[in-house]
Structures are given as structure tokens and as C-alpha cells.
Amino acid sequence: MKKASIIFGLSFLFAACRPNVTVTIPASSGNTDFSVYMSFGSSYAGGFSDNSLEVSGQVNSYPNLLFQQFQLVPGDAGGSKSYFVQPLLNSNNGYPYAKLVLGSFFNPCTMDSIMIPVNYPSFVMDPTDAIRYTWQNSNYNNGQINNMAVPGMRVADLPVAGYVLANPYAARFFLKNAPTNTPLDEIGYRVRNTHPSFVTVDIGLQDILGFALSGGVGDGTGYASPITGTTNVYQDSAITPYAVFQTQYDALVLQAINTPSPKGGGALFSIPDITAMPYFNVFPSNGLVITRQTLADSLNKYWKSYTPKVTINKDFQVGNNQYIVMDHNNNIRQSVPGELILMDAPFFDTSCATMSSFGAHVPIPNKYVLTTEELQEIRSATAIFNNYIYNESLKYHLAYVDVNKYLNNVGYSSVGTTGVVFNGITYNSNFISGGFYSLDGVHLTQRGYAQITNLTIQQVDSFYHATLPLINVNNYNGVLYY
Amino acid sequence: MKKLFLSASLFLGSLAAFGAGYQLNMQGLRQLAMGGTGSAWVWDASTIFYNPGGLACLKNIQIYCNVIDIIPRTGYSNGVENQMSVKKTFTPINFYLGGPIRQGSPWAVGIGVYEPFGNGLQWNGDWVGRYIDQSTTLKVYFVQPTLSYRVGSVLSVGAGMVYALGSLDMNRALPVQDQNGNDGQAVLHGTGNGVGFNAGVHFKMSDGLQIGLTYRSQVSFDVNGGSAQFNVPFALRNYFPNTNFGTTIPLPQVATLGFAVRPGERLTFQFDLNYTGWNSLDTLRVNFGQQTTYLRNIAAPRKYKNVFTPRLGVNVKLSRAFSVMGGIAYDPTPVPDNYLSPDLPDANRVTLSCGFAFKPMPRLTILAAYEGMTTVKRTGIYEYAQFYGTYQSTASVPGIGVYYNF
């Protein structure tokens, strides 16, 4: 009887016992100090997405998400630590031009409707977006700006006086907008106002991107000359000269860590390989689909009798064929595998008659093509810049966040990558469906930036022996369908 | 140029299909109260499940019915988000009818209808694991006509063919968001069936010692032509057509060796050892009637391992009319460390149980039992979906039943 009642008792004890698995991993800063965080960078750090800037992109920018995790570390909750000031816009319309949204394109030739990115149809620039940003909290109205990211800004732009005139994002919040001041001056001023204990530097993408977006028509040698009449202003379509990049990048890092705290630290971000982005991979260079042998015959005949001589490596045949392109020396030739076509190539702008011949009878102009030589220049510059950034991280004892490596892991399903899986979702680089890149094919979705946040947390945790928890990537927006 | 911008597929790692540990060991109430033991001692007609060989040992035709409530709860934490599964109650009903074909005959026949497999777990719809599982419910009934023969005073044998029928429901969020950021939704519902058998031998060595040896075969529970419905943004409707789906859930084979010892008139001890062939669950596949670039068939690796489960029970006869029972079982998990998934986050389980039997008149017995189950806290990852967390499950299982001897 006694035994039985003991068992009865135990069983009811079980019933009362609801599962209790609350796990808390105390957040700690390890060997560094997250109390005042500042971010320096360009489009990625600014939360630029869908070819524009919106307030929701800024609120979910990876520096702001990082700050939210830094706040989990117990410590001084007062003062500037409580704020991560970003020069926020007011609207989600897009600034200064329309964001991209998914729309439908009816192709009159195939009578087929497809999904493509289109400019936000009801775009009106919110007039309040254009007003210069002022930090409203009078207690901290000391010029504190924590996210100094300026979409579009290059390392090459850092020493350019009067840069605000050229960049509407800089114009919104740079205080020192006199024509004699440079972005580096502005950054120095803000650093001395805010005294960051932790910094991230994520810049350099635009130093190569302009060249790639021009289809490689600019100077990609790494030894470009300044624009005539200036001493240090370089064409957007040129790759920033290697020497300029190195000098200015080093100057930026020195400004960023100008007011060190005893345990101060930071992280430097590598530059992603632009050629792996959807913008350059949506149209494969062998995308010329021929359905009839007669068309293949006519193309072969046309180009083989063309003067001057056109190089055709492989005769046209039914199926997929390499497009005919104009290369950077204005020679017409057949493209070779590996060469890239830009997403803004006007495949959809022409009538049915010319659509069938664009890239076939009509060469794709060089400004829409990255040829083998141009790709080599992009990849060389990326490697040289990243090697320099890595050495800077060693020199200043900062963490190195290899965004380039991560984006390559995300990869394309067509080349057999498994992508990056997070909480049941597989992300890859496939345009639209991959969920990682935004509709502009270069910048990321909020879920993509959330993954950059986690990558940074992992690197910072490991470098500084900190314990910051990861964020749930899937809490943010990916591609939004209509 | 057709569908240019959707040339590649979205890999739905999300529909990870069904999980493990979905075996129920609660087919008879006295056995439930005794830690799930029951292959060696023939108490009542539920021996049709526990050991068909024991049916020929019944003295009379018996009709037996019980109703059980299963109230499972699972807690989850990843250090940031803490979740408790939604409270749901499942109510399996078990029914048996059988006994000697006439008084004193060595032949016995019977039929059992019982629920040996089932699971239900529902999470909050917007939780962190919503793309892997929002809710999954499996209910499988076995119908088992049984024939048993008493070979002599010691040995009796029995076997029954098993026909399985039941249903499977799965709800998952789909990672395709509308303009407001709301997820898409997949709702899968299907019914299925399968066949197998249940066989056993029973040895009555003496009045004080009985031995049971049973084998329940694997049953492949096939779901064909289930409905797969998708609620997705307008632009994607063609890519997520409402279609049908099929899957096969292996219901594993179980071999059991049991001993029952009665040292005195009032006291009976039982010990069972189950060997469950969970390794039949290697990969779970869901095949859709219509595949698109977005909607692909799913093959989710599970890699379960076979397990041994020891069970111990005691029955104390307090008077002619009243007995009490108690028991304990330890059920190790078949789920390997890298396959711990939120649709059934299994872990090593400890079960404590108790119950009583009351005989208000000679032919009628009323049974009540209660089982409390808890798993250990388990931290792991479902690598396939890169989903990490710490889980603990408990279940509260009350039941009542009655049997009548003709």
C-alpha cells in the first residue's frame, strides 16, 4: 500500500512538472567593449536595398541589428550607449528615387507573363526625406551619429572636398558640408564627438562596383588617373587606384579608432566578389536560344562572311549558344563561357523583331558585357583590396569579417551549391527566389543583411571571446511578392 | 525568355516531413499502469496487442474497452526565444473482443482495434521554427483479427494480421512573403493504410513464472492522394498549385521478451524488454503530384537508430475486488544528435505510472491508470534545416476502461 501511494505521488509530481527549458546564455563582451558603437561604410552598412534607401532598411541595417545584440551585454545603460543614432529617413517610399518592387511583365512575343523588378509604381519622394537629418533628443544633441554609412561612397571619395554635393545621402546628415571639407574630415569630427569603443569598417565595394556597372568601359587597371582638372577625384566607372585605396583606407581606420577606450576594438569587412552577384548572372552568356536549324544556319552564314572578321568559337546550333557581343576594344565576337551580361541589358525594351536578334544579329554593346579581361581586372582588384584590408586587421588587431567568402558560400543552385540554411530556409544567390539578394541584384534583402549581422557576431565572438547571441534571420523581410 | 527570373528552384528545406518517437505504449490500462509491461502475464483481452499467444489462456470471451487522454507538452529554447507547444489533448480508444471459441477449447479467436502509433505537436504559428513545423498530427489505428492456440499446459501461440489505417496532417509556413511580410502557408492532409502482423508465444512455466515472446512486424503506412494546399502570394500561385501528395511512414517492428513472476498470491512483478527497429526511418520523403520550380519533392534525412526499452511493473492485489499497479520504464531515444527536429524533438524518456483495478461484480472490472512521462532536457541541431535548440517534453496520460467476461 505504501509503495503504491509513493508511485501515485511520483506520478502526480510528473503531472505538475511542465517542461521548463528556458535557456539563457549571458551575453558578454569578452576582451572588448561594446558600450559605444560606430559603423563606417557605404551601401551595405547603410541598409541600402532594392536599389534605394528606406527607413525600414535603415532600421534593419546590420549595424543597427548588431547594436541591439551589443545592448544585451549587461553594463552601463546610460549615456550614449543607449542610442545608436542613424540618419533615419521618414518614409518607405525610397530616397531619392523609387525603390524596386516585384511587378509583372507581359512579353508580347511569347504571350507570357513573368515577374520582374519594376520601379515602385506609386513612388513620390516624401518631402520630409530630403530634409537634413537632425538628432531630435536634446540631451544628446552633440552631433552623435553612430551609423556613418553613406550609400555609394567609395574609399576613393574619402579625401574629396565638397563630396556632399555629389552624394544626396551624405548631404542629408554631414554637418561639415562646406566645400573644403571631406568625408574623412566629417568622420573625424563625429568620432571625436561620440568616442566609439567599438567600430566596424565596411567600405570598398563601390570602388569596384562602378567599373562593373559600366560594363567595364572605365579604367580597370588599378592605375587610373584623376579626372582632368582635379587632383584626387576619380571617375565612378574606374577601379580606384590601388595606391589611393590603400592610403585612404588606412586613414579611415586610423580615424575610426582615433579615440580608443582601454578595451576598444572593431572589425574590418572584406569586399564581396561582385562577379558572383545576380546582377551579373541573371542573363547567362550562353542565353541565346535557337529553336530552328534555319536560324542557326543563317547566323553562321551572316557572321562568317562579316568584315572585319568575327571570331566564332563554336558554330550556332539548335539549343543554347553564346551571345554575340562587342568587346572593350570595340571588336565584335562571340562571347566565351564565363563572360557576364549585365542585368540592365535591354532584352525587354525592344520589339519582338529585334529581341530575337539582340545578341544574335545585333551584338550586345560592351557596356552590358564584362569580358574575360574586364573580369580579370575586377577579380585582381578585389583580391588586392581584400588582402590589404586583411593586413590592416592584423596591423590594428581588429577582427576580420570575410563577407566575400560568405557570399561565395551562398552561391547559385545551378552550380550545385547547397546555399546557406538557416532555421529551415535555404538561401542562395538565385535572383528573386534565392531570398538573399534584393531586387537590384547587388544589395541584400533584410534577411541577407541579418545574415551579415550573424557572420559579424560569429567573427567578433571568436576574435574577442565574446558571447553575443545570434539573431533570428527569419524575423526580417526577404523578397516580398505581390 | 520564359520565366527568366524564376529559372531556379527554391529549395523547400522547410517541409521536413514527419518525425520519430511516435510510438504509443498504452493499449491496455493495467499494462499502462505497470510501466507498459504485458507480454508475459495474461490479464485481459488486451493481450491481443501485448501477446496474441496469450489469448488462448483466457477462460471466457471478454469484451474490453478503454479511453485514454494524452496531453503532451514540449518546451523549446534557443537562448533567445522560448516556446511552449500549444496544449492539445489526444484521445485514443482501444477495443478488444476475444476468448476461447467455447468453454475449455484450446482455440481462441479475437479482434483488437488499437492505436499503436500517433503523435501530435502544435507550435505557435509564428514561432522561430515555423518553416520546419507548425503542427504535425499522426493517428494510426490497427485492426487485428487474431487466432490463438493452446498447445499444452505450458505453451500457447497466437498471431493476427494487422490492417493499419489512419491520417496524417502537417502545417508549415512557406518562406514566400507577401507585400506585408506575411509568410505563405502549406496545409497537407492525407489518409493512409498498411498491413503487417503481430505474433507471440506464451509460456506458463508454473503458477509463479510466465514468459512471453512477441514480434510485431513493421508496417509501411502509405499515404496516397493526400491533399496539399498552399496559400501563397498571387504572383506565385502557379508555382504552388494545389495538388496531391504521397508519403510512406515506416511504423517500426518491435520484438519483446517478457517475464512475469508471482512470488506470492498478492504480488506480481513484470519485466519487458522491447527492441524497436527505428532504423527503418532513414529518410522521409514527400512526393507531390505536380512539381514546379518552387515546389519540389522532399527527402528529409532522419537516420534513426534501433533501441532497447526496459520496462518494469508491479501489481498488488489488495483484496478480492481491488488491485493497485505501478511501473516504470526507460525509453532511450532513436534520434541521433544531429537529427533533433522540432516536429518530434525526441529524447531519452522516463515514464512512471500507476493505476487500480476494481471488480464490483464477478464478471465486471473497471480500470483506471495514470502515466506521467518526461524526457531529459536535450540540446541539439537538426542539421538538414540548420535548426538548433534545447527541448524538453512531458506528457500526462490518464485513462479509464472496463471489461466484461461473458
- C-alpha A57: how far from chain center: 12
Confidence of residue B386 (pLDDT cuts 50, 70, 90): confident
What's the pLDDT tens digit per position in A182-226?
A: 999 999 988 988 889 999 999 999 999 999 999 999 999 999 999
Statement to judge: residues A131 and A248 lie in one domain: yes
Whether residue A119 is contained in a domain is answered as no
Contacts B327 to A, Cβ<8 Å: 7
Asked if B387 has any chain A CB less than 8 Å from its own CB, the reply is: yes
Total domains in chain B come to 1
Cα A160 → chain centroid: 23
Cβ atoms of A177 and A332 within 8 Å: the answer is: no
Please give the grid coordinates belonging to residue A222: 588599378
Contact predicate B389/B74, CB 8 Å: no
Domain membership flag for residue B4? no
pLDDT digits 0-9 by tens, A45-86: 999 999 999 999 999 999 999 999 999 888 754 455 678 999
- Within a 13 Å sphere around the CA of B26, how many CA atoms are in the beta-carbon half? 34
Q: Are residues A451 and A312 in the same domain?
A: no
Picking from B134, B126, B228, B136, the residue whose alpha carbon sits closest to that of residue B177 is B126
CATH number for the domain that contains residue A175: 3.40.50.1110
Would A381 be classed as within a structural domain? yes
- Please say which residue of A338, A370, A402 terminates a domain: A370
Residues A252, A328: one domain?
A: no
- Does the residue B5 lie in any domain? no
Q: What percent of chain B has pLDDT over 70?
A: 95
pLDDT band, residue A311 (cuts 50/70/90): confident
Give residues with Cβ within 8 angstroms of A406, minimum separation 6: A420, A451, A452, A455
- Give me the pLDDT at residue B384, please: 84
Does residue A104 carry a pLDDT above 90?
Answer: no
> Beta strands of A221-378 (E only): which ranges?
265-269, 288-290, 319-321, 324-326, 332-334, 340-341, 369-370
Contact B38, B270 (CB under 8 A): yes
Q: B303 lies in a domain?
A: yes
Go through chain B and tell me how many residues it has: 406
d(CA B85, CA B96): 33
- Which has more confidence, A243 or A433? A243
Does A133 map to a domain?
yes
Q: Taking the CB of residue A112, how many other CB atoms lie within 10 A of it?
A: 13
3-state secondary structure of B272: strand
More confident residue, A129 or B278: B278
Write out chain B residues lying below 8 Å of A474, CB-based.
Answer: 128, 130-131, 175
Mean pLDDT of A313-320: 90
At A140 the pLDDT is: 53
% of chain A exceeding 70 in pLDDT: 89
Give me the domain span that covers residue A70: 37-94+125-279+373-475
In degrees and rounded to multiples of 5, residue A465 shows phi and psi of 55, 40
Closest-CA residue of A relative to B10 is A433
- Tell me, rounded to whole angstroms, the distance of Cα A290 from its chain centroid: 35
Interchain proximity B177–A478, CB inside 8 Å: yes
pLDDT averaged over chain B? 90
Q: How far is A116 from chain B (nearest CA, A)?
A: 7
Q: Residue B10 has what pLDDT?
A: 35
Q: How far apart are CA B15 and CA B296, in angstroms?
A: 10
Q: Which of A307, A342, A370 is where one domain is finished?
A: A370
> Could you tell me if B62 and B403 are in contact, meaning their C-beta atoms sit under 8 angstroms apart?
yes
Residue that has been written with the C-alpha cell 477462460 in this structure = B59
Residue B201 belongs to some domain of the structure: yes
- Interface contacts A/B by beta carbons within 8 Å: 193
Q: How much is the pLDDT for A141?
A: 52
Which residue is it, cell 571617375? A235
Q: Are residues A159 and A54 in the same domain?
A: yes
Q: Which segment of A15-24, A450-459, B334-343, B381-390 scores lowest on mean pLDDT?
A: A15-24
pLDDT tens-digit map of B262-271 = 998 899 999 9
Looking at the structure, do residues A230 and A361 belong to the same domain, yes or no?
A: no
d(CA B331, CA B350): 6
Angle (CA) A250-A254-A257 rounded to 5° is 140
**B244 is written with which cell numbers?**
496531391
Which of B216, B189, B166 lies closest to B53 in space, CA to CA? B216
DSSP string computed for B101-131: SSTT-SEEEEEEEEEEEEEEEE--TTSTTTT
Query: b/e per residue, B114-133, with b = 16+ CB within 10 A?
Result: bbbbbbbbbbeeebbbbbbb
Q: What are the phi and psi torsion angles at A244 (to 5°)?
A: -65, -45
Does residue A200 sit within a domain?
Answer: yes
Domain range for B70 is 11-405
The answer, for B319 touching chain A at a CB cutoff of 8 Å, is no
Report pLDDT for A178: 66
DSSP β-bridge partners for residue A40 = A201
Q: What is the CATH number of the domain that holds B143?
A: 2.40.160.60
Residue A215 lies in a domain: yes
A13 vs B contacts (CB less than 8 Å): 372
Q: Residue A290: its chain B contacts at CB < 8 A?
A: none
Nearest C-alpha in A relative to B179: A480
**Rounded Cα gap, residues A391 and A384, in angstroms:** 11
For residue B396, give the chain A residue with the closest CA: A15
What pLDDT is attached to residue A333?
93
A119-123, A244-248, A315-319, B6-10: which has the minimum mean pLDDT? B6-10
Q: At what angle do helices A62-70 and A446-464 cross, to 10 degrees?
A: 40
CB atoms within 10 A of CB A40: 29
The answer to whether position A11 is within a domain reads: no
Looking at per-residue confidence, does B11 or A14 come out higher? A14
Does A3 map to a domain?
A: no
Backbone angles phi, psi at B90, to 5 degrees: -115, 140
Which pairs count as long-range contacts for A357-363, CB under 8 Å and 24+ apart, including other chains?
A359/A287, A359/A288, A359/A323, A359/A324, A359/A325, A360/A288, A360/A299, A360/A323, A360/A324, A361/A299, A361/A302, A361/A324, A362/A324, A363/A324, A363/A325, A363/A326, A363/A332
Kindly state whether residues A354 and A389 are assigned to the same domain.
no
- Cα dist from B164 to A322, A334, B276, whole Å: 57, 64, 18
Q: Evaluate whether B367 touches B66 at the Cβ level (below 8 Å).
A: yes
Q: What is the rounded CA–CA span in Å between residue A172 and residue A236?
A: 21
Same domain? A59 vs A180: yes
The arithmetic mean of pLDDT across residues B68-81, rounded, is 89
Instruction: Please report whether residue B265 resides in a domain.
Output: yes
Give the ipTM of the model, two decimals please: 0.83
pLDDT of residue A136: 56
- Is 90 exceeded by the pLDDT of residue A122? no
- To the nearest whole angstrom, how far is the Cα of A276 from the nearest Cα of chain B? 16
pLDDT of A419-444, one tens digit each? 888 888 889 998 988 999 999 999 99
Q: Tell me what pLDDT residue A142 has.
A: 62
Residues A224 and A263 in one domain: yes
The answer to whether residues A321 and A267 belong to one domain is no
Between the alpha carbon of residue A183 and those of residues A148, B144, B278, the distances in Å are 10, 81, 64
**Chain B neighbors of A482, CB-CB under 8 A:** 178-179, 233-235
Q: What is the mean pLDDT of residues B358-387?
A: 92
Report the pLDDT averaged over residues A282-297: 88
> Residue A7 is inside which H or E element, if any?
helix A2-16
Per-residue pLDDT at B296 = 84
Contacts by B24-27 with C-beta closer than 8 Å and gap 24+?
Answer: B24/B70, B24/B92, B24/B115, B24/B116, B24/B117, B24/B118, B25/B329, B25/B331, B26/B68, B26/B70, B26/B92, B26/B94, B26/B371, B26/B397, B26/B399, B27/B94, B27/B112, B27/B114, B27/B115, B27/B116
In this prediction, residue B341 has a pLDDT band, given cuts at 50, 70 and 90, of confident
Q: Do A431 and B79 touch (CB under 8 A)?
A: no
Whether residue A396 is predicted with pLDDT greater than 60 in this model: the reply is yes
- Stated as kind and residue range, the H or E segment containing A173 is helix A168-173
Question: Do A226 and A201 sit in the same domain of this protein?
Answer: yes
What number of CA atoms fall less than 13 Å from residue A455's CA on the CB side? 23
Alpha-helical (H) ranges within B25-179 are 29-33, 47-50
Using CB atoms within 10 A of its CB, is residue A103 exposed (0-12), middle (13-18) or buried (19+)? middle
Helix A372-395 vs helix A206-213: crossing angle, to nearest 10: 170
Based on the domain organization, do A357 and A255 belong to the same domain?
A: no
Q: Which residues contact B135 (CB under 8 A, 6 or more apart)?
A: B86, B120, B121, B122, B123, B169, B170, B171
In sequence order, what are the residues at sequence separation of 6 or more whose Cβ sits closer than 8 angstroms to the Cβ of residue A412? A281, A428, A429, A430, A434, B8
> Cell digits for A291?
529553336
Give pLDDT, residue A348: 62
Whether residue B4 has pLDDT greater than 70: no
* DSSP letter, residue A433: T
| Those residues with Cβ within 8 angstroms of residue B128's Cβ, 6 or more apart along the chain or in another chain | A423, A472, A474, B78, B81, B83
Residue B368, in any domain of the structure: yes
Lookup: cell for A230? 582635379
Interface with chain B: mutation pick from A3, A5, A10, A11, highest number of B CBs within 10 Å = A11
**pLDDT exceeds 90 at position A290:** no
Residue A276 pLDDT exceeds 80: yes
pLDDT at A139 over 70: no
Is residue B98 domain-resident?
A: yes
Task: Output the pLDDT for position A292.
Answer: 87
Tell whether the model's pLDDT for residue A306 goes beyond 70. yes
Dist CA B392 CA B88 (whole Å):
16
A316 and A334 in a single domain? The answer is: yes
Interatomic CA distance for residues A59 and A64, integer angstroms: 6
Q: What is the pLDDT of residues A330-380, one digit of tens each?
A: 899 999 999 999 998 887 644 554 445 788 888 999 999 999 999 999 999
CB B283 within 8 A of CB B249: no
Hey, is the C-beta of B59 within 8 angstroms of any chain A C-beta?
A: no
Average pLDDT (B364-375) is 94
B196-205 mean pLDDT = 96
Q: Is residue A9 part of a domain?
A: no
Least CB-CB distance to B5: which of A12, A282, A413? A282
- Residue A131 DSSP class: S
SS3 A430: coil
Tell me the C-alpha to C-alpha distance, in Å, between residue A379 and each of A221, A238, A371, A375, A391. 11, 14, 12, 6, 18
Query: A13 or A66, which is more confident?
Result: A66
Separation CA B113–CA B119 (nearest Å): 18
A274 residue type, one letter: I
Contacts of A116 in chain B (CB under 8 A): 4-5
- Looking at residue A176, its pLDDT comes to 62
Give me the pLDDT at residue A80, please.
54
Contact A443, A48 (CB under 8 A): yes
- The partner residue sitting opposite A4, judged by closest CB among B178, B326, B396, is B326
Q: What is the C-alpha separation between B85 and B187, in angstroms, rounded?
A: 19
Q: How many domains does chain A have?
A: 2
Q: Using the structure block, give the residue that is written with the C-alpha cell 502482423.
A: B197
Considering A370, A402, A437, which residue would you say is the last residue of a domain? A370
Give the C-alpha separation, A464 to A32, whole Å: 6
